[in-house]
């Protein structure tokens, strides 16, 4: 969990890294990572999120949300 921002992943709808992985590709600050085939966030990088919205736009199944704590 970031101090200011959490990137919430809906793992029920996420297509998975093998099939998709778009969010990993587009994020300029490496918020997402492949952890043994499962999509996870890098907690230390969540607060680096630039709010560029690229991951949300690229996600084909709306599995991502930015949760602001401010
Ligand atoms: S909004 Fe941009 S910076 Fe933030 S997690 Fe998505 S792609 Fe990365
Ligand atoms: S872009 Fe969406 S569906 Fe694709 S890996 Fe990321 S969260 Fe999952």
Residue 41 Cα, ligand 2 centroid: separation in angstroms? Answer: 12
Residue 1 pLDDT: 73
27 touches ligand 2 (CB under 6 Å)? no
Residue 16 pLDDT: 94
> Does residue 34 sit in helix, strand or coil?
strand
**CATH number reported for the structural domain that contains residue 24 in this entry:** 3.30.70.20
Residue 2 pLDDT: 81
Average pLDDT for consecutive 10-residue bins of the chain (70 residues)?
A: 91 95 97 93 94 98 96
Residue 59 pLDDT: 98
Residue 18 pLDDT: 94
Residue 6 Cα, ligand 2 centroid: separation in angstroms? Answer: 16
Contact predicate 8/63, CB 8 Å? no
To test the ligand 2 pocket, which listed residue (38, 56, 61) has its Cβ within 8 A of the most ligand atoms? Answer: 61
Range of 44's domain? 5-68
Domains identified in the chain, total number? 1
Residue 13 pLDDT: 97
- CA 66 remoteness from chain centre: 8
Report pTM: 0.93
d(CA 30, CA 47): 11
Residue 26 pLDDT: 98
């Amino acid at each position: 969990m970031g101090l200011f921002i959490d990137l919430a992943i809906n793992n029920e709808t996420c297509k998975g890294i093998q099939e998709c992985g778009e969010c990993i590709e587009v994020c300029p600050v490496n918020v997402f990572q492949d952890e043994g085939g499962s999509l996870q966030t890098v907690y230390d990088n969540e607060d680096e999120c630039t709010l560029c919205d690229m991951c949300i736009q690229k996600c084909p199944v709306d599995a991502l949300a930015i949760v602001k704590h401010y």
